[in-house]
């Protein structure tokens, strides 16, 4: 069988399975998730052995330390996967909720009910621990899912999927239903293209990976794509900012976890407060090992620190690293304009004591999450109370910000009558 | 200036204007809409004269009677446009609504607030009366809009836009804001391509026209497209249906307005009730001048009526005309499978006295609107209490079913803190 035929078959099966999964009672879905969690624990040795094979190949191929770290599974990381599944089982069911209800004058009852999207295509890089998060969220939201992981993680993913699918089969006696979860067991690049072509069976593609991966996927599919592009997050320190608070928030947003998409990448500072606050901030960040790049005014103001000059490219860069660009702006308007021009519509924060400035910033910055006097690091499905997340949407359609269970549903109008016709 | 430069400039201006429009107070937006309604009435003679030019050209070019009818404006149709603007002014403002609010343990307040999408690209065929509906919905929902109408309606559209933009300028003293509404005054095909390329400035493209127009647009843009594809609507008469009710609903769904997207196109009938109900239904529809096409079993059962044979293509066709295809099915499952295979996920209805069958149908039919014992003709933004509609979405992402003001918004998380950082 060609890879094309195989994946088309998998997509068809996922769709049929999703129809059975769509209205599975909550208790059954939760039982599946908990059984999967148990199965992960039971299969830990086998999964770690498979992961060791992937790691050996990765070292041989000279993969970077960062990539190897992402690929690596440990008992602690498997415990994290187990916890995520258990947490998802505990969350309320997002399917079958009445979102609105209206009775027309003619007696028609219009119920707006949340329903699953259908089948998700999940394309991700070499992070095997993401596999069960995605499966868990898909099952709880009543969606079929087709997984295509990075080729470097193939052995790990195969072992994980083997364990959880066996658990799935043990709970439900319905072979069609079990097909709702499909794993593409191939390292061929062609496999991704075949998956992207399944427009008749896929309702949404969720890519998890770098910006270039996502843009390549968008170019090659007519299926809607949930965009999680880059997180070029800003903090703007306004003229009236409380200095200790500003210093503290900037340090947290930059240094807590620089590789996270909600980490700070560009700091904007009002020209009047800059002389009073920048030296402290620079001292703090330098002590933390952060490389700083400044605009001309920043460089002039902080000559003693020998900052690098920031270029136009810096304002558009998601470093995901211990680097920060700094720009001094004339006022609030300039800060907002900079963010809307160079940002990625992810998370941006203003530090100010001036309520009117905070209100303007929150209204006019065109990002998924905007903050007043807080770190950008809070943008996260877990923190927002959604449980695990599929990603963070930087698009505006359908879902914006963290994508949890509710964002994996759509709605349907169910209209009940007793013979009504329209005149 | 090339058409490309011009349209890029218009898109930039629309985006800037939209930023001013986004948080315009409700009273000001409503005043603009009412002033536009007045302006339409005042400009009626000029608009009808412009429309007469379009109609003369259309007759010369040999356009079909249907197209000429769509193109034609009358005092009554202009009155309809005025009423629509007035109605939109009366609807609640969809912007700035608190959709959810949560306080975290650390005191962070997370507000989920509805906000405009940004700038809409509205591409429509030669129906000039749609122009003000789109402008009205865009303004009330705080979105900028770029209009590209069919070339046959260029004189009418120009006259309409001239009148309402003058009214806009009379109400607000802000040239940037007035630019939020842009009209592409060109009949060149190239103009549409230039508009589709404005991915930096457009947030959503709303095409209104045939399936081929929409599919062509989707192929040529990376901006999200709100799909209003065809309406292949079904009614399934279940074994236990009340016969008079079924006959009455079928007649209404097919004959009330055959050219509407929510009109009935395929009738499915349970094999056991077919002999008792089809003769009556066929007699009714034949008397109404409907052409009937039947499956083999239907033909065998209704020999006296000399129905045409339905082909595979019939099940996939949106007639928008006085034609109906009829299929006899074995049971509820077959009816659901037929609808999910051949339908267009628009509106489908079951006529039955069996509550369990109704429940299964409503759950398993994968369409935007599903009905029990009612005509499919009710799928309409106005009927659903949304006021005017931009169209009916047959996609599942973002909006499903009628697209009114709320569906033209997205949301933003606004997080208020007092110095919180993440550990």
Q: What is the nearest CA distance from B235 to chain A, expressed in angstroms?
A: 13
A74, two tokens: 């440990």
Q: Which residues contact B324 (CB under 8 A, 6 or more apart)?
A: B254, B264, B265, B266, B267, B285, B290, B291, B292, B293
CB-based contact (8 Å) between B395 and chain A? yes
pLDDT of res. B230: 85
Using the predicted structure, report yes or no on whether residue A268 has a pLDDT greater than 90: yes
pLDDT at A210: 79
Indicate if the pLDDT at residue A229 is higher than 90.
Answer: no
* Cβ(B367)–Cβ(B347) below 8 Å: yes
Interface A:B, Cβ pairs < 8 A = 179
Shortest Cα–Cα distance, A50 to chain B (Å): 33
Segment holding B45, helix H or strand E: helix B44-60
Question: Which of A248, A396, A423 minimises the CB distance to B117?
Answer: A396
As a three-state string, the secondary structure of A176-228 is HHHCCEEECCCCCHHHHHHHHCCCCCCCEEEEECCHHHHHHHHHCCCCCECCC
Rounded Cα gap, residues B215 and B220, in angstroms: 9
Q: Tens digit of pLDDT for each residue in A82-138?
A: 999 999 999 999 999 999 999 999 999 999 999 999 999 999 988 999 999 999 999
Cβ contacts (< 8 Å) between B367 and chain A: which residues? Answer: 412
Specify the range with the lowest mean pLDDT, choosing from A220-229, A244-253, B45-54, B97-106. A220-229
Give me the pLDDT at residue A146, please: 98
Report the distance separating Cα B327 and Cα B270, nearest Å. 9
pLDDT digit string, tens, across residues A12-36: 999 999 999 998 999 999 999 999 9
pLDDT at A96: 97
List, as ranges, residues 5-64 from B with C-beta within 8 Å of A.
19, 22-23
User: pLDDT value at position B423?
Assistant: 86
Q: Provide the whole-model pTM.
A: 0.93
Residue A382: pLDDT band with limits 50, 70, 90:
confident
Q: Which residue of A has its CA nearest to B20?
A: A364
CB atoms within 10 A of CB B362: 22
Parts of chain A belonging to CATH 3.40.605.10: 3-226+401-416
Give the residues of chain B that fall short of pLDDT 70.
none
Q: Where does residue A343 rank: exposed (0-12), middle (13-18), buried (19+ CB within 10 A)?
A: buried
Whether residue A222 has pLDDT greater than 90: no
pLDDT at A113: 98
Please tell me the predicted confidence (pLDDT) of residue A211. Answer: 80
ipTM: 0.94
What residues of chain B lie within 8 A of the CB of A256, using their CB? 421-423
- Residue B377, token pair as written in the block: 């003709």
Confidence check: pLDDT of A227 > 90: no
Say what the pLDDT of residue A65 is: 86
pLDDT of residue B65: 87
For residues B352 and B372, the answer to whether their CB atoms sit within 8 Å is yes
CATH number of this structure's domain A3-226+401-416: 3.40.605.10
List the CATH code of the domain at B233-378. 3.40.309.10
pLDDT, mean of residues A286-311: 95
pLDDT in tens, B336-351: 999 999 999 999 999 9
Ranges for all domains in chain B classified under CATH 3.40.309.10: 233-378
């Amino acid at each position: 069988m060609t890879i094309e035929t195989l994946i088309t078959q998998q997509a068809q099966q996922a769709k049929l399975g999703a129809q059975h999964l769509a209205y599975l009672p909550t208790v059954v879905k939760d039982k599946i998730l908990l059984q999967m969690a148990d199965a992960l624990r039971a299969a830990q040795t086998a999964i770690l052995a498979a992961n060791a094979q992937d790691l050996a190949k990765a070292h041989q191929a000279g993969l970077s330390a960062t990539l190897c770290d992402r690929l690596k599974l440990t008992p602690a990381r498997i415990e994290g996967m187990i916890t995520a599944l258990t947490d998802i089982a505990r969350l309320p069911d997002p399917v079958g909720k009445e979102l609105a209800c209206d009775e027309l004058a003619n007696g028609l009852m219009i119920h707006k009910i949340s329903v699953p999207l259908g089948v998700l295509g999940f394309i991700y890089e070499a992070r095997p621990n993401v596999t069960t998060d995605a499966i868990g969220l898909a099952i709880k939201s009543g969606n079929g899912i087709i997984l295509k992981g990075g080729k470097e993680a193939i052995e790990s993913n195969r072992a994980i999927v083997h364990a959880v699918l066996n658990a799935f089969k043990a709970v439900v006696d319905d072979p069609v239903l079990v097909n709702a979860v499909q794993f593409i067991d191939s390292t061929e690049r062609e496999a991704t293209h075949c998956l992207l072509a399944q427009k008749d069976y896929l309702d949404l593609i969720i890519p998890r990976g770098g910006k270039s991966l996502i843009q390549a996927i968008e170019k090659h599919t007519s299926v809607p794509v949930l965009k999680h592009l880059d997180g070029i997050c800003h903090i703007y320190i306004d003229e009236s900012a409380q200095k200790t608070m500003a210093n503290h928030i900037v340090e947290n947003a930059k240094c807590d976890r620089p590789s996270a998409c909600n980490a700070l990448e560009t700091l904007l500072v009002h020209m009047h407060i800059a002389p009073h606050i920048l030296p402290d901030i620079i001292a703090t960040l330098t002590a933390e090992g952060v490389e700083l790049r400044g605009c001309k005014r920043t460089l002039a103001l902080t000559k003693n620190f020998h900052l690098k000059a920031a270029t136009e490219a810096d304002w558009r860069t998601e470093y995901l690293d211990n680097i920060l660009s700094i720009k001094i702006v004339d006022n609030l308007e300039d800060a907002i304009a900079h963010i809307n021009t160079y940002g990625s519509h992810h998370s941006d924060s203003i530090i100010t004591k001036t309520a009117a400035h905070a209100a303007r910033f929150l209204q006019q910055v065109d990002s998924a999450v905007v903050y007043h006097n807080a770190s950008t690091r809070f943008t996260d499905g877990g923190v927002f109370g959604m449980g695990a997340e599929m990603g963070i949407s930087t698009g505006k359609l359908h879902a914006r910000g963290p994508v949890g269970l509710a964002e994996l549903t759509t709605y349907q109008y169910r209209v009940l009558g007793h013979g009504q016709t329209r005149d």
